[in-house]
Amino acid sequence: MATSGIQTDEHRYDAVRGRDPRFDGVFFIAVLTTGIYCRPSCPATTPKRENVRFYPSAAAAQAAGFRACRRCRPDAVPGSAEWNLRADVIGRAMRLINDGVIDREGVSGLAVRLGYSERQVQRHLVAELGAGPLALARAQRAHTARVLLQTTKLPATDVAFAAGFASVRQFNDTIREIYAATPTELRDSARKAERGTNGGSGISLRLAYREPYAREQIFDFIGARAIPGVEEMVGERGDRVYRRTLSFEHGPGIVEVRERHNDGSGGGGAWLDCRLDLADLRGFTTAIGRMRRLFDLDADPVAVAEYFGPHAVLGPLSRKTPGLRSPGAADADEMAIRAVLGQQITVAAARRLAGTLVAERGEPLPEPTGGLTHVFPGAQALADADFAELGMPESRKQTLRTISGALADGSVRLDPGADRDQAQQELLALRGIGPWTAGYLRMRALSDPDVVPAGDVVIKSAMKKAGLDRTDVESWHPWASYAIHYFWSNS
């Protein structure tokens, strides 16, 4: 049963009885007799049906007075795959909230980005998720605070503000309410083994996903496109570490994501080990969101595989590579520049060009680390650049300036809550941006799971070889981006 098949409380209870991890993050179960809420896969004894209530979000369960289970940690589940699939105001709002927009810009900023009034946003979210934007952001802050308390030695005051709380009092009250413990008690309860993984600098955490997850293929895809100076993939296949720089409002950061678990095992848990080293911890929530989008960690691979299962061509491909994802972008504006650099040339050539651009115009790190030396240049810095170092046709340089200027002045928006249809039309209106580039950016920069980049030569060749034509593409919706990656991965 795919997550899309959950329609009634009886279906939800069946998933709970089966302790099915595919539904973690899709809904939450609250137990009246204990006053706690859990993820569906919680290993505790299944409660009686009459003692169970279901909630569409952790925030809704918290608002109803339930505290988080200390055993299954329901606040640490993958996000619902529905938010990337949906293009309506709810999906856009959830993508923005997960990116930390309320901490940075408040509910008013969220409403402006969505093009709705604050009252309309509140009404929509409460009707569908049982909680408004502030409650949803509060639940996210509490999870961030728990991770920081249990994986770092930061003073509680620093944790409070890094997590996005407006005051220490608000932080203390929220932690007590959600976890039934003080910040000190929560820190002391952390398992020694878990705290022991945080040697060296930075913050260690786990990025949860729904199994299966095609680690090797996903690391292959990201590694082949790694820009020198900004990204690097170190280690041997099967035991690699992806490292890259990130730019935030309050300073740069470095993130590492491991292909294997820290204990050296390739499996044993549905998560990727991650380490963040940030100049300012206020970038913590945003950094996590960016990595989740890059590695497509909120996807529902079972739903995708079941959908393509009967397909004569895509069915065998989906079974050949179970858990293949559609990687997004760590920085949408950066991805736009990269897409233009890659027009009509190979992946390797585009990577070299991007490395040249970074070396000439990137922002140097205060201290290089490994192969990481720069942060990718911002759109504002490229809007009037001559790009003499790139040695490409003037028309392509002008396209780089055009898209950089549009990103810098806001006439093209590629943030997590952007209207995807509108963004694609804005891109197509720019001179030098064709259907393939706009489609590729919709797929990766906007994490749209249902895109077929027009005119892709690899897809054309694969379809011809498989005896498919244009009419077959219609059967790929709403998971067309995954169909594309099946073909790309097997080309």
Question: Which of the residues are catalytic?
Answer: 38, 456
Contact at 8 Å (CB) between 274 and 207?
yes
* Distances in whole angstroms, Cα of residue 346 to Cα of each of 343, 442, 475: 8, 20, 29
Q: b/e string for 377-391 if b means 16 or more Cβ within 10 A?
A: bbbeebbebebeebe
- Which token pair is 357? 């651009």
Cis peptide before 301 (omega within 30 of 0): no
Picking from 368, 332, 338, the residue whose alpha carbon sits closest to that of residue 353 is 338
Contact at 8 Å (CB) between 430 and 456?
no
Picking from 107, 157, 160, 98, the residue whose alpha carbon sits closest to that of residue 132 is 107
**Cβ neighbours for 26, distance < 8 A, ≥ 6 positions apart:** 3, 6, 40, 80, 81, 82
Give 255-261's long-range contacts (Cβ < 8 A, gap of 24+).
Answer: 255/287, 255/290, 255/291, 255/330, 256/202, 257/207, 257/291, 257/295, 259/215, 259/216, 259/219, 259/235, 260/215
Reduced to 3 states (helix: H, G, I; strand: E, B; else coil), residue 310 is coil
**Cβ neighbours for 52, distance < 8 A, ≥ 6 positions apart:** 13, 16, 29, 30, 31, 32
